[in-house]
Homo-oligomer: A and B are copies of this chain.
Amino acid sequence: MTGQRVEALFFDVFGTVVDWRCGVARGLEEALAPKGHALDWQAMALAWRERYQPAMAAVREGRRPFVKLDVLHRENLLSVLDAFGVEGLGAAEIDEINLAWHRLDPWPDVPAGLARLKKRYILASLSNGNVRLMVDMARRAGLPWDAILGAEPARAYKPSPEAYRRSIAFLDLEPSACMMVAAHNGDLAAARAVGMRTAFVARPHEYGPGQATDLAPAAEWDMVAEDFGELAHRLGC
């Protein structure tokens, strides 16, 4: 990696920074088990996440105006509850389950890694999650973001180029002074397409035992690290 110094690191969050699968499964179980439901909570979390890309596609393709991810998550939750035969929940109960996405735990290497990286780099979230979701998650998990950027401030969902370009513009940087950190090759490809540097950190447990995608870098990314600790080391922190 040569040329302009990297000044800011932008992070994908769901999967890269936090374990959404276990956190969402836990949230579903905590809400529904006391009501007598005995379901495959992990499968339910995966089913909820499966509806994520199609929901955002409607916004990306201009078929509906931008709405926050919390709104899309709630619509998708109704579909998942129906698919798993859960009936009779009130609106407030559904709202509460939807907040599971605000209460996700970081991967074990994340807090210490981000603390090291923050000393030298501006750290920004570049997630499809909305600002309040990111704020709640960061306060609970101790994620030291300097700025919460990404879909809601940019009013565009990744991998639309505007999601990256507008996030970078908030920091007045050239794309080449920005590095996207993600566990997803597709996210890095979109970041590279707008001129950002790229760092791949594999999260082989994101989707559980059956994970078949994003187990390894699919291109010559600028950096590949085992975890955020190695990323900090490689970036001179």
How many angstroms between the C-alpha atoms of A22 and B172 in the bound complex?
25
A146 in contact (CB, < 8 A):
yes
List residues of chain B with CB within 8 A of the CB of A138.
146
| Interface presence of A161 (CB below 8 A) | no
Query: Which size class do A's interface residues fall under?
Result: 10 to 19
* Chain B: minimal CB distance from A224 (Å): 28
Residues on B with C-beta less than 8 A from A146 are 135, 138-139
What residue in chain B is nearest A133 (Cβ atoms)?
B172
Q: How far is the CA of A132 from the CA of B148 in the complex (A)?
A: 12
Query: Is B122 touching A170 in the complex (CB atoms < 8 A)?
Result: no
Q: Is A131 an interface residue (CB 8 A)?
A: yes
A68 to B122, CA, bound (A): 19
Determine whether A230 belongs to the interface, using a CB cutoff of 8 Å to chain B: no
Q: Is the CB of A70 within 8 A of B172?
A: yes
CA distance A146 to B136 in the complex (A): 9
How many whole Å from A53's CB to the nearest CB in chain B? Answer: 23
A 111-155 to B, binary, CB cutoff 8 A, 1 in contact else 0 = 000000000001000000011100100110000001110001100
**A49-90 with Cβ < 8 A to chain B:** 68, 70
**A153 contacts which chain B residues (CB < 8 A)?**
153, 170
Tell me the minimal C-beta distance from A208 to chain B in angstroms. Answer: 30
The reply to whether B171 and A147 form a contact with Cβ atoms under 8 Å apart is no
A122 touches B139 (CB 8 A): yes
Q: How far is the CB of A94 from chain B (nearest CB, A)?
A: 15
A147-B148, A148-B147 are contacts. A171–B135 as well, Cβ < 8 Å? yes
Q: What are some 22 contacts across the A-B interface (CB < 8 A)?
A: A68-B172, A70-B172, A122-B135, A122-B139, A130-B170, A130-B172, A131-B147, A131-B170, A131-B171, A132-B170, A132-B171, A132-B172, A135-B146, A135-B147, A135-B171, A138-B146, A139-B146, A147-B148, A148-B148, A152-B170, A153-B153, A153-B170
